[in-house]
Structure 1
Amino acid sequence: MTAWHVVLLASIACFGLKAFGYLIPTTMFERPTPARIVNLLTVALLAALISLQTFASGQQLVLDARVPAVATAAVLFALRVPFFVVIVVAAIVAAAIRALT
């Protein structure tokens, strides 16, 4: 099985899951418990994606300029700085660290 086969199978699986989602009645998500689970699941998946992209490179744990840049972005978000400013400052932090090393 080649990488293209894996990509095609994953695409078919994602499409199937999305199609299955349309079959679930909307009344199910109006109840408090499923609505809370759906909201928390979205946040958990986003946090997992950010942590993998920040701390991993292939199969290895990597601590490079991305870590302080994400930490800077987190602090700026906590201070309610506008999104564009957060992105620019985090990019500047990462570029400065990479320039110094």
Structure 2
Amino acid sequence: MNLWIWVIVSCAAAYGIKLLGYLVPRRWMKNERMTRIAGTVTIGLLASLTVVNALGNGQSLAFDARIGSLVAAAVALLLRAPFLVVVIVGAAVAAGLRLLGWG
């Protein structure tokens, strides 16, 4: 199948899912259980995207400067650093590790 057909099908699916979100009754969204589920799904999605971006390299795993950057950012978060500081610490550690030849 042509790549553009897949792109169009994906766009239509994304639009349909978004439209379904607008059709959900408002009282369902105000339910406490739904709020907890939405928060949990958001955390899980963010965690999985972080792991894929930190460890993924095409079809294989990569252990390079991104791991050190992720660990440094996690430590900064545990120390309750502001978000901008967390980003700067992660970037600085990644740059330092790459300078040392770790990928």
- TM-score bracket for this pair, using the shorter chain length: over 0.9
Deviation at 1:3, TM superposition (A): 2.8
Q: TM-score, normalised by structure 2?
A: 0.90
CA offsets per residue over residues 40-73 of structure 1, 9 Å max, x none? Answer: 0111111111110111111101111001101111
Alpha-carbon distance between aligned partners in 2 of 1:32 and 1:78, rounded to the nearest angstrom: 28
In structure 1, the partner of 2:39 is: 39
CA offsets per residue over residues 63-97 of structure 1, 9 Å max, x none? Answer: 11001101111111121111111111111100111
In structure 2, the partner of 1:82 is: 82
Task: Determine what percentage of the aligned residue pairs are the same residue.
Answer: 39
Alpha-carbon distance between aligned partners in 2 of 1:96 and 1:28, rounded to the nearest angstrom: 49
Q: Where does the alignment leave 5 or more consecutive residues of structure 2 unmatched?
A: none
Runs of at least 4 residues of structure 1 off by over 3 A? none
In structure 2, the partner of 1:48 is: 48
Matched, 1:64 2:61: no
Q: TM-score, normalised by structure 1?
A: 0.92
Deviation at 1:2, TM superposition (A): 3.0
Over the aligned positions, Cα root-mean-square deviation in angstroms equals 1.1
